[in-house]
Structure 1
Amino acid sequence: MSTQSVIKFAQELLVDEEGTPISPALINSKIDQVLAFKPAWKQDFDRDAAVTELVRRFSLWVGIDTKISSDEGHKPWLNSARKADWRYWQRYREYLEAKMSVVAVDGLDRSTGTILDMLEDPLRDGQWDRRGLVVGHVQSGKTGNYTGLICKAADAGYKIVIVLAGLHNNLRSQTQMRLDEGFLGYETRPIADDIRQIGVGLIDRDPLIRPNYVTNRTNNGDFSTARANNLGITPEQRPWLFVVKKNKTVLERLLGWLRQHVADGKDEHGRKIIQRLPLLLIDDEADHASVDTGEQVFDEEGLPDPDYQPKAINSLTRKILHTFARSAYVGYTATPFANIFIHERGATTDEGPDLFPSAFIVNLAAPSSYIGPAQIFGLKNGAERSDGLPLYREVDDHVSEDGKGGWMPHSHKNGYVPKIDRKSGIPASLEKAIYSFLLTCAVRHLRGQSEEHSSMLIHVTRFTSVQKDVHERVDEFLREVKQRLTRRIGNSETETLLRDLWEEDFIPTTEAAAHDFSHLSGDPEIPDWDDVLNGLLSVINDIDVRMINGTAKDALDYADRKGLKVIAVGGDKLSRGLTLEGLCTSYFLRTSKMYDSLMQMGRWFGYRPGYIDLCRLYTTSELADWFGHIADAAEELRQEFDLMAEAGATPREYGLKVQSHPVLMVTSRLKMRSSKSLMLSFSGQVSETITLHKEPAVLERNCAALASLIDGLGPGEINPQRERDESVQQWRGVLWDSVPASQVTAFLAAYKTHPDAYKVNNALLSEFITKMNAYGELTEFSVALIGARGGATFDVTKTISIEMLKRSAKGAPDRYSIGRLLSPRDETIDLSSEEYSEALRLTQLGWKPDPARSKSETPPTDPSGPSIRTVRGQRHPERGLLLLYVLDPKEAELGDELPPVVAMGLSFPASDSGTKVEYRVTNILWNQEYGGAD
């Protein structure tokens, strides 16, 4: 505790040194000042840990949020005078500064201030309703953000705060505990006979500002009508907090109680409403359960059916909002796509409008210490894609080649008993992952992090019965390892395995992280093996194996103990919101391909101060590929958002744009309001083949399709050059202009895409081009055949040869998968110098620094894909771009005798035509392909 206190006060002294480089020497001098003031803190003080933490905090930088908003019906209100006597926010800020960098706290202050300003003034009379959405990176601190927003809203005058906190008791309880610490300032218990102050309550102990609560932190602490009736609360004086599950029965109770005991008026329809108390409703994981998955009917003029009955959670959430004359709704999510598909005009008499974020959408930036999909699976920096942190380890021994047998088959059912011919009953890869976690706990102990939580996630099935079996096997395996190491009997083989893993994996990974990602890992000292083994013997008996089954106890342990070390075996309960504190090692086999489900399952994202080099992700190559796709797709969507924000677009305009994005084939079909088909548009998108065939017959067919296309194009521009501001760009290959769309669709008809290609389907693309022709768009194409310097030569036709690209194979053995085919640079090949400059200008205008998206704090020097397609749509909506590549099969290790692999990319100009094509899929096929976590 003394170390944390010294860090807090030394940080405040260092903040005053504005303009002075924060060096270890300066930090030590400030620490000496603090200890001179408080000598008692010298006891148990860890100077090295304090200096390291302060160096980390003062090297941090925070990105800039992006927003799109609508001021319709809104009156600006938040000024300095309104903030003058805020006490809830001030004490929360001080609470955070003890744990976080001042830079990060300032960033949170800016974010929450922006969001609150876009809500309505709680003191404003009359009826008003504001609805917004906050999009944060997975595990990036959304709970901390909405806790800050709640504090500020309470200071401003919001009187009732309702937080919808997930579907399960453990997440509701965890959220309640976080708000106990950050907003209430005391522990919530069923009987409030003895107030135990915690968190912010230890900073400002004044009972006169103490918020009231109706729900508490226990397992059955959700909303209860009887408990609420027994509380003598006057919300006009102090705010009132409810933390409730997204549960039909609970929400019905809450709605009934509000109408019977709090309502003080009626509307024109005779409905009971609450007029005197303004409401702030926070919807955590807003894309989950809150979205109406029914099929609402709209008439010819686009007006909704007033008698339509939405799904239960959506209906009750809207009814609660509609019961207040003055209300503000803020959804928080990392995967907003389902929310964007909410019909922006959806409304009923009883529920009022649907939950579309009509007032604003905010994209939160992350601090530079954040570890997200881009950091793990690679960052896009302009035209290049850098490698991610070297933490991923492939798992391929859990299933047979056909996917139907082995320890954990893809399509196993509830009640399945995992079987494997190993003494431990678990795969070697899972044993290695457990050993990795043991080493991580040992090294964190040596680094002075013994009092910090350390967790391992094992997520291999959605079924509780199968999880139970896995839990028993893992628990038995860990017990045997503990006995061998601590009793020193039969320990030789285990110690050898651990030492080999340390020397072959941990040492090189830590060295690589320090060299290539020093801004995340620092330069940690690598201990000797003997020290690691001694450290392991000190901590191994503290490690427990738990099942995460949805009870509040799973969350309570973190609050009540220091340095908890746990291996958590779970499934869907771990998919949403539940934070595994200090998550170090993940063993992850779920095969869902739904965009939002996969992102939410990424519990290994977040913050890993001082131990990121020790973290490991054990998963399949297929899932690693999917996360790479997701990182790219998420970045493109954020770039689209940036462009629209700069152009002053509203959430309604953004919603229309995103609704037909082809990458969202992999979000929940039900949430897309379509039970049998998806309507997709490729306008403003790029489709590239990164999942390819490897069968000789198909490769021959695609080579023939390429040759036939090229033969019909005539002479082209060899090795085209383009002036780019003060430089010249050149491509190796051939460019043809003004190619009729019919020749491109003929090529697509002859070319065979892989059935697992995640957004490239030759038939759909061809149909889309044909439909666009009816509007006078995509009537012609630029066609580029692009080669690589130094590659082996391939004769495409008798007159044209190309140097083949080298792309290494990754992924499943039944396909040839690559990381990325084309770059934004290739998409500019047919742009004039003026068009290129305009695309770069748009990119830089919309760009905001965000370390979760780029290492750089400076604007990009290459135009982004979305800006290129925007300019193309403005200048040449009639012109698409077909990019053709030939990949060397030898470099891909496909075999010496195979033909080259023809790959392609189609870049479509942005368009306002609204043209879409139908993607039909059966329920059975959908479940087989994408699986469901919902």
Structure 2
Amino acid sequence: MTSPDTAAGIRLELHHRALGDMTSGKPKRLVRALEYQAEDLSPEAAEYATEADFLSVLRVAHSTDPLVEVWRKPLTRWDHNENVAWSTHPPRTDGRRADVYTLLGVSDETRKLLDDLVPVSKAASAVVISSEHTPWYIPQALQGRPWYWPAYRKLLTEKGWPEEVVAGLDEATDRVVERLADPTAPEAYQSKGLVVGYVQSGKTANFAGVIAKAVDAGYRLVIVLGGTLNMLRAQTQRRLDMELVGRENILRGASEYESDYADDPAWSQGKFTAFGALPSSLGAFDIHRMTSRDDDYQSLLRGIVALEYDKQEPGLPLYDPRNLHRTAARLMVVKKNKQVLNKLVKDLRKIKTPLSEIPVLIVDDESDEASVNTSDLAKPNAERTAINQKISELLQMLPRAQYVGYTATPFANVFVDPSDAQDIFPKDFIISLPRPYEYMGARDFHDLDADLSDTERTYENSNEMAHVRSIVVEDDEDDTCLERAMDMFVLTAAMKLYREDKGALGDRYFQHHTMLIHESVRQDVHRELLGRVTRLWWNAGYLGPTGRERLRNLFDTDIAPVSAVRADGQAVPASFEELAPYIGPAAIRIGGDDKPIIVVNGDKDIETGEADFDKRSIWKILIGGQKLARGFTVEGLTVSYFRRRAGNASTLMQMGRWFGFRKGYRDLVRLYLGRQETVGRKEIDLYEGFEAICRDEEAFRAELAQYSVTVDGRPQITPDKVPPLVSQHIPWLKPTSPNKMYNSRLVTLRSPGQWQEPTAYPAKVSDLRHNTNLWTPVLESLSTEPVQLSHVFPQEGVTHRYAAFTGRLDAEEFLDLVSRVRWGAPSQFAPHLDYLREITTDGPAQVDDWVVLAPQHAQPNRRIRIGATGRVYSYFARDRRRDPLFGAISDMKHRSAAKRIAGGLPSSGDATVESLVAPRRGVLVLYPIVESVHRAGLTDGDALDPNRIVMAFGFVAPASARSDDGRVLRFTTVDSSQEGVAIIDTTAPGATGRP
């Protein structure tokens, strides 16, 4: 009689083989596939080649059981595959999954059980921009037994991760690993890629999954570049040790008390993953740590043997599967420090194992910091910056090394010169991770899509009203806002204790509760700030009537109204009296040890404690600068007091420590932000800065998503064509440091059905007059009475409504007009003009005419007379953000009707708008702008000289106006490898193949 273990092994192998034959194509009849594989496997295998046997396992299976794991990958792939011939349903839908089951020929009970164990992930999937690659990471091609990925997946499930989230991580990590080189391939190939996440969004979970899958596939040296600070490196090391490496690999026969985690509560509580024995004794392979929580990489000297790889078959190279899958992996988490990396480079040069045989994975956390070369190599005697030089050395000496950078601020990486073969440009792939489940990011603090007036905004519909509070400081002695932020910190602490007591969290509790004060990177400022905050704390009177009265007022005016509409089922006190008993315990928990404040800045004289969230529960106020500005996770962060300025988007975004996961207290998060800060002679708005970054980031991700769709199986663009997708919304905030910018020029931008809004209008009097005179006949041809236009968005409960004069232009007349417009920076509109010419005259005409709209204000003010007829039109008060660029010109509500008329949106629900809809029709929206210098003294209905008017416009091309080949971009780019050749035309699709 077959033992249960033997039966399980046969069943696993049978299903693995059957599904492996299907993975690269469509699903096939399951029982027939099982029977076919059973004939080759063993005589007793036929007993398990039935659906009845499969059902017997599914009825008692858990989501992490081995047989379910075998099924998870093919089901997920079939769910996610784009443009398949065997299903008419879109990816990630119940309909697509039903088609899979029909092709498999399985019963209703099997379908239901599989849906329960492997639910359809309907979340957005990762977006991939990639060069062509040879598929190798598919079940039937893999050798060796998957070990670390199934264990990691199981750990996440046991930690309470929703199954859909784990499935999304599985799919996203596949997208990375499949674009690395096959570690067993005879020919070495070095893949370089970039993974773009969100600030504080769990990128570590993704690269831990990538490492797990990579070592299972055969990568045997993993180098994690863990930031530039010891605390960040240690945090990353602990996370990988706990969730991936496991207890047995950490101890390696030593006692529990000899572990470097002996003082870590999670170690004694059994939260580190465990295998039951060393993986090598269970038929898998071990992971040898070359670094520990407290120790970065050290020169090995005589211990260099620790880096040696033993070959079971000495006559074969290490990458041969007969050696590779019987060899331990090495893992090191290394700080981005020149001296540390130099030790590693020197040690690798000493080992006997040929470096050309070792499959290596380099994971670069926060890859836009320190890793990017900032020296202009075109200058004589220029050298790479130190960290970039060491990474370059590693890549040169390890020909089988794969480089994967991780960052939430990718602009510096995509601006790297793609022709520099020694650098880290992501030549093979850029992957944009989806926004994580329950993540609270920049969008959640801004009202990006809401077209609401100040009077319409409420705590329920406005993120800004709910979470953002302005810092208004009259003078250097004014601590009113800081005191209010500290009061909010104590009040939200009491709210957390209240929720714990009411049991709404189940068996969970709030281990950490923190406030971050970030005003400067300078240690002398931190010293002064420590004194101020300490004084405020001890004078706050939280246990007395004065403090209680302030908290009562703050609860009634802030906490109560916000939580009433945003608590998402969490307990909310009916009154301050119900919360009051928790205020004393909250204040004592924060300051009962007489140390309510932790300074984290490297100054040993004033550092008041250790921000080690792994070793203890922390309910404290944190003061810091650079140490807390990138990568390091501030756990339990609820109140942020932020006045720090930055000159580029990457730096400012990384300071947003208030982004992250706020389960159970999302409604309590508050951001106190310096709204008007003086930089030089300019007043800047930090809130505006973060909003601009958010728009830049979302535009970048949207562009990647659009261009990730392949055409005839080939990519529309490859990573070296990505730089033109990076935008800049406000003048004082560049995408990244100027010395990291890479030049590229966009030739054609095809935008069917999408709103486009050029902003580079001229300032010269003659050019302004020319443009105004050019557009005046069009304005005069419009309807004499405005019509009401609206567009209803039922799901959002929003209606965009406005009045506009209307008219029409034929296609060639519109092209003639925009061809004659003068610009302050012609290169900005040139890609649009090339597209408009293409769809009008350069090929088969794809546009018949253009509807013209001139939006009019609801109130009879802000009107000017334009032209000889004396007609009056609404003008728009706009100013240039940076000469010659304006910021946003249009109002959000104007865009939806225009997009609907051009076919870019479904029915508007408005009869007037629908009457304007026609195939092959575009929309032009005109905006007479009066800048502030000309608005002084202007009264309603005044005539204005044409040279004082900026005639701006936005447009939407017909949604049907697409290129024959489906491509949306045409580029030229400056290629540094082509000396003396400034522009290289890359209109042809082209893609770099690889083994």
Q: TM-score, normalised by structure 1?
A: 0.68
Which residue in 1 is equivalent to 2:435? 366
The answer to whether residue 430 in structure 2 is matched with residue 341 in structure 1 is: no
For the residues of structure 2 that align with 1:592 and 1:673, how far apart are their CA atoms? Answer: 17
The answer to whether residue 343 in structure 2 is matched with residue 243 in structure 1 is: no
308 and 369 in structure 1: CA distance in 2 versus 1, 3 angstrom threshold: same
For the residues of structure 1 that align with 2:638 and 2:121, how far apart are their CA atoms? Answer: 21
For the residues of structure 1 that align with 2:937 and 2:646, how far apart are their CA atoms? Answer: 28
Which residue in 1 is equivalent to 2:463? 388
Which residue in 2 is equivalent to 1:540? 587
Matching residue within 733, 741, 764 for 2:805: 733
Q: What code does the residue aligned with 1:613 have? A: D
Q: What code does the residue aligned with 2:927 have? A: L
Contact 1:185 1:210 in 2 (8 A): no
Which residue in 1 is equivalent to 2:393? 319
Q: What code does the residue aligned with 1:568 have? A: L
Which residue in 1 is equivalent to 2:112? none
Unaligned runs of 5+ in 1: 1-10, 19-57, 266-273, 299-304, 348-352, 401-405, 408-419, 515-520, 693-697, 749-761, 841-859, 863-874, 917-934
Matching residue within 618, 634, 643 for 1:580: 634
The answer to whether residue 927 in structure 2 is matched with residue 884 in structure 1 is: yes
Matching residue within 140, 155, 160 for 2:221: 160
Contact 2:750 2:832 in 1 (8 A): no
Which residue in 2 is equivalent to 1:560? 615
For the residues of structure 2 that align with 1:436 and 1:504, how far apart are their CA atoms? Answer: 12
Displacement after TM superposition at 1:206 (Å): 1.6
Contact 1:395 1:618 in 2 (8 A): yes
Contact 1:170 1:555 in 2 (8 A): no
For the residues of structure 2 that align with 1:264 and 1:861, how far apart are their CA atoms? Answer: 66
Unaligned runs of 5+ in 2: 1-59, 69-118, 311-326, 501-507, 591-595, 676-684, 792-799, 842-848, 909-919, 958-967, 975-995
Displacement after TM superposition at 1:217 (Å): 1.4
Q: What code does the residue aligned with 1:312 have? A: A
Displacement after TM superposition at 1:81 (Å): 7.1
Displacement after TM superposition at 1:824 (Å): 9.1
Matching residue within 425, 429, 448 for 1:356: 425
Which residue in 2 is equivalent to 1:921? none
Contact 2:519 2:644 in 1 (8 A): yes
Displacement after TM superposition at 1:612 (Å): 0.5
Which residue in 1 is equivalent to 2:147? 87
Displacement after TM superposition at 1:137 (Å): 1.6
Contact 1:184 1:200 in 2 (8 A): no
Cα displacement string for residues 732-787 of structure 1 (whole angstroms, at most 9, x for unaligned residues): 22456466889779986xxxxxxxxxxxxx62258865997899789999795532
How many residue pairs get aligned? The number is 740
286 and 512 in structure 1: CA distance in 2 versus 1, 3 angstrom threshold: same
59 and 641 in structure 1: CA distance in 2 versus 1, 3 angstrom threshold: closer
Equivalent positions of 1:616-631 (< 5 A) are: 616-621=670-675, 622-631=685-694
440 and 494 in structure 1: CA distance in 2 versus 1, 3 angstrom threshold: same
Q: What code does the residue aligned with 1:370 have? A: Y
Cα displacement string for residues 39-86 of structure 1 (whole angstroms, at most 9, x for unaligned residues): xxxxxxxxxxxxxxxxxxx999632211122234x3423316748832
Displacement after TM superposition at 1:578 (Å): 0.7
Displacement after TM superposition at 1:796 (Å): 3.5
Displacement after TM superposition at 1:508 (Å): 0.6
Contact 1:189 1:217 in 2 (8 A): no
For the residues of structure 1 that align with 2:147 and 2:481, how far apart are their CA atoms? Answer: 52
Contact 1:510 1:614 in 2 (8 A): yes
Matching residue within 199, 210, 216 for 2:292: 216
Matching residue within 454, 466, 490 for 1:438: 490
Equivalent positions of 1:630-779 (< 5 A) are: 630-648=693-711, 650=715, 653-659=718-724, 661-663=726-728, 666-673=734-741, 683=749, 708=773, 710-713=775-778, 715-718=780-783, 732-735=804-807, 737=809, 763-765=824-826
Matching residue within 556, 559, 578 for 1:506: 559
Q: What code does the residue aligned with 2:151 have? A: R
Displacement after TM superposition at 1:152 (Å): 1.6
For the residues of structure 2 that align with 1:824 and 1:276, how far apart are their CA atoms? Answer: 60
644 and 652 in structure 1: CA distance in 2 versus 1, 3 angstrom threshold: closer
Matching residue within 284, 287, 299 for 1:225: 299
Q: Secondary structure at the match of 2:401?
A: strand
Which residue in 1 is equivalent to 2:319? none
Contact 2:445 2:468 in 1 (8 A): no
Q: Secondary structure at the match of 1:225?
A: coil
Q: Secondary structure at the match of 2:612?
A: helix
Q: What code does the residue aligned with 2:423 have? A: D
The answer to whether residue 542 in structure 2 is matched with residue 485 in structure 1 is: yes
Q: What code does the residue aligned with 2:231 have? A: N
Matching residue within 139, 144, 158 for 1:98: 158
For the residues of structure 1 that align with 2:581 and 2:771, how far apart are their CA atoms? Answer: 63
Q: Secondary structure at the match of 2:614?
A: helix
Which residue in 1 is equivalent to 2:373? 292
- Report % sequence identity: 26
The answer to whether residue 199 in structure 2 is matched with residue 138 in structure 1 is: yes
Which residue in 1 is equivalent to 2:527? 468
Q: Secondary structure at the match of 1:118?
A: coil
Q: What code does the residue aligned with 1:462 have? A: V
Contact 1:215 1:241 in 2 (8 A): yes
105 and 800 in structure 1: CA distance in 2 versus 1, 3 angstrom threshold: same
For the residues of structure 2 that align with 1:898 and 1:534, how far apart are their CA atoms? Answer: 62
Which residue in 2 is equivalent to 1:260? 350
Q: What code does the residue aligned with 2:630 have? A: R
Contact 2:638 2:658 in 1 (8 A): yes
Which residue in 1 is equivalent to 2:446? 377
Q: Which piece of structure 1 moves more, 79-88 or 907-916?
A: 907-916
Displacement after TM superposition at 1:315 (Å): 1.8
Displacement after TM superposition at 1:124 (Å): 2.3
Q: Secondary structure at the match of 2:183?
A: coil
Displacement after TM superposition at 1:706 (Å): 8.4
Q: What code does the residue aligned with 1:786 have? A: A
Which residue in 1 is equivalent to 2:323? none
85 and 557 in structure 1: CA distance in 2 versus 1, 3 angstrom threshold: same
Q: Secondary structure at the match of 1:205?
A: coil
Larger relative CO (CA 8 A, sep 6+): 1 or 2? 1
Cα displacement string for residues 373-422 of structure 1 (whole angstroms, at most 9, x for unaligned residues): 12221354999997436434343423x6xxxxx43xxxxxxxxxxxx1x5
Equivalent positions of 1:588-627 (< 5 A) are: 588-621=642-675, 622-627=685-690
Q: Secondary structure at the match of 2:633?
A: coil
Contact 1:344 1:652 in 2 (8 A): no
125 and 60 in structure 1: CA distance in 2 versus 1, 3 angstrom threshold: closer
For the residues of structure 1 that align with 2:61 and 2:669, how far apart are their CA atoms? Answer: 31
Which residue in 2 is equivalent to 1:792? 860
Displacement after TM superposition at 1:509 (Å): 0.8
Displacement after TM superposition at 1:702 (Å): 13
For the residues of structure 2 that align with 1:828 and 1:344, how far apart are their CA atoms? Answer: 41
Structure exhibiting the larger radius of gyration computed from Cα positions: 2
Q: Secondary structure at the match of 2:372?
A: coil
For the residues of structure 2 that align with 1:319 and 1:527, how far apart are their CA atoms? Answer: 63
Q: Which piece of structure 1 moves more, 228-237 or 790-799?
A: 228-237
For the residues of structure 2 that align with 1:790 and 1:450, how far apart are their CA atoms? Answer: 52
825 and 672 in structure 1: CA distance in 2 versus 1, 3 angstrom threshold: farther
Displacement after TM superposition at 1:215 (Å): 1.5
Q: Secondary structure at the match of 1:559?
A: coil
For the residues of structure 1 that align with 2:808 and 2:344, how far apart are their CA atoms? Answer: 66
The answer to whether residue 550 in structure 2 is matched with residue 497 in structure 1 is: yes
Contact 1:390 1:512 in 2 (8 A): no
Q: What code does the residue aligned with 2:634 have? A: L
Cα displacement string for residues 536-575 of structure 1 (whole angstroms, at most 9, x for unaligned residues): 211212323111225999876210113x112111122222
Displacement after TM superposition at 1:244 (Å): 0.9
Contact 2:855 2:894 in 1 (8 A): no
Contact 1:284 1:332 in 2 (8 A): yes
Displacement after TM superposition at 1:321 (Å): 2.0
278 and 654 in structure 1: CA distance in 2 versus 1, 3 angstrom threshold: closer
